[in-house]
Homo-oligomer: A and B are copies of this chain.
Amino acid sequence: MDFVKNSIPICGEVGYTYTMGFERQKRFLPHRSTHKESFMKINAHYQDLEQSYLFANINRKVASYAAAHPEKSIIRMGIGDVTRPLAPIVIEALHKGVNDMAAKETFHGYGPEQGYDFLRERVQSYYARIGVELAIDEIFISDGAKSDVGNILDLFDVDNTVLVPDPVYPVYVDTNIMAGRAIRYMQACESNGFLPDPPEEAADIIYLCSPNNPTGAVYDREQLKRWVEYAKKNDAVILFDSAYEAFVATKDLPRSIYEIEGAKECAIEFCSLSKTAGFTGTRCGYTIVPKALEPLNHMWLRRQTTKFNGVSYIIQCGAAEVFTEEGIRQTRENLAYYMRNAKVIADTLDALGIWYTGGKYSPYIWMRCPNGMDSWSFFDLLLEEAGIVGTPGAGFGKQGEGYFRLTAFSTYENTVEAMRRLKDLLQK
């Protein structure tokens, strides 16, 4: 069966291939011939999704190599998951939250869907540190940025044009395909430092992620200002993913789009404690929907109160400590650990004369594959000759071909060892 793709590529499409058992899907396909007057119809847009074989392929190759070479040590620098334990102050608050649930007097039942004020106020003060003033009811606590980045699309008509960068975090693409929305890709490449400027064409919904996943590149204030101007000119909305903001250890670069004047009138910001505080398995994030963006603020409140029941009280207790002075100090220690790893990687690539972005204010390093290799060939070479697992850039889109992502989330010792092996390999 053939299905027409609903994406309109400008500079190339993301390169997944996908099948989802189409034969079985026929059962509920719309427009089938039937003598019945009614039958349940599935959302046919799911058939337009392409399966990302990326991490499945990586896992298969790694497993196969490990089976053939049981003596070889494999260093994993592929997946963007943290490895350091939660900060002590967070652990303590989580225990207190659990204890509260053990006694009638301190038990918490249903909480506000948009989060407890004790946490929203902490997020508010966290933004105030970088000069961004938010009202409490512009802050929505969530179980993570991925949920909200996907669910926010409930608020928009199908008939909107979506603009995403290529390479891209696949969630931006897949959630829009599921809803049947047209997608345009903007080309990120070496010449723009993988930080594309607004195009000539108009768009309605714009995805920006800075510091970027997968490239680690960070927009400066001038660049973001051009995006805000573009969005306002086109009556568009920017969905700004700032999940990696905590890695921006300089005042020279923005950590929130709201540092740009006028952004509250055109941007929704998604953030997460996943990387900030190692919450990938603990689950908490927050989304900012400014009141200047009405009716979206009210619609999001309505969406969340109807389709969500809030984040666990226990988890919110832990999350609130992340934003205290002591919490910031403790969580930044883990970030410093990862950034030391990133520097080891960056220094190695500098010494090898290999072009890359990221690694300075991001746990991701996006490197050009050496000797003009394509990204899967370089993956195979790295795995087989050096026992290092990274992520081929082609997995993030057509423009990712020829590039490769390494992450700084391994241990320091393994990172040093991996870079020693990389040097040996490429200087052979």
* Chain A, interface SS category: loop
| Given known contacts A95-B98, A309-B144, A42 and B85 CB-to-CB distance under 8 angstroms | no
- Are A107 and B85 in touch, CB under 8 angstroms? yes
Instruction: Answer whether residue A202 sits at the interface, using C-beta atoms and an 8 A cutoff.
Output: yes
Instruction: Answer whether residue A40 sits at the interface, using C-beta atoms and an 8 A cutoff.
Output: yes
Instruction: Answer whether residue A348 sits at the interface, using C-beta atoms and an 8 A cutoff.
Output: no
Which B residues are CB-close (under 8 A) to A143? 143, 308-309, 311-312
- Are B282 and A36 in touch, CB under 8 angstroms? no
Q: How far is the CB of A156 from chain B (nearest CB, A)?
A: 6
Which B residues are CB-close (under 8 A) to A308? 143, 146-147, 150
What are the interface flags for A136-156 relative to B under an 8 Å C-beta threshold, 1 for contact and 0 otherwise? Answer: 000000011011001100111
- The interface stretch among A127-135, A248-256, A294-302 is A294-302
Instruction: Answer whether residue A423 sits at the interface, using C-beta atoms and an 8 A cutoff.
Output: no
Query: Which residues in window 302-326 of A have CB below 8 A to B?
Result: 302-303, 306-315
Instruction: Answer whether residue A229 sits at the interface, using C-beta atoms and an 8 A cutoff.
Output: no
State which size class the interface on A falls in. 35 or more
Instruction: Answer whether residue A44 sits at the interface, using C-beta atoms and an 8 A cutoff.
Output: yes
- Select A83's contact among B84, B107, B157, beta carbons within 8 Å: B107
Which B residues are CB-close (under 8 A) to A111? 281
Instruction: Answer whether residue A11 sits at the interface, using C-beta atoms and an 8 A cutoff.
Output: no
Instruction: Answer whether residue A20 sits at the interface, using C-beta atoms and an 8 A cutoff.
Output: yes
- Are B313 and A46 in touch, CB under 8 angstroms? no
| Given known contacts A37-B202, A38-B161, A85 and B109 CB-to-CB distance under 8 angstroms | no
Which B residues are CB-close (under 8 A) to A307? 146-147, 150-151, 171, 175
Complex CA gap A205/B155 in Å reads: 23
Complex CA gap A46/B260 in Å reads: 30
Complex CA gap A235/B293 in Å reads: 42
Instruction: Answer whether residue A82 sits at the interface, using C-beta atoms and an 8 A cutoff.
Output: yes
Complex CA gap A109/B272 in Å reads: 14
- The interface stretch among A86-94, A218-226, A363-371 is A86-94
Q: Which residues on A are within 8 Å of B, measured CB to CB?
A: 20-21, 24-25, 27-28, 30, 36-44, 46, 49, 79, 81-86, 88, 91, 94-95, 98-99, 101-104, 107-111, 143-144, 146-147, 150-151, 154-157, 159-161, 171, 174-175, 178, 202-205, 234-237, 278, 280-283, 294-296, 298-299, 302-303, 306-315
- In the complex, 19 of the A-B residue pairs with CB atoms within 8 angstroms, ordered by the A residue number, are A20-B298, A27-B295, A28-B296, A36-B234, A40-B204, A41-B156, A41-B159, A42-B296, A42-B299, A43-B155, A43-B156, A85-B107, A91-B101, A94-B101, A109-B280, A111-B281, A150-B308, A174-B306, A314-B315
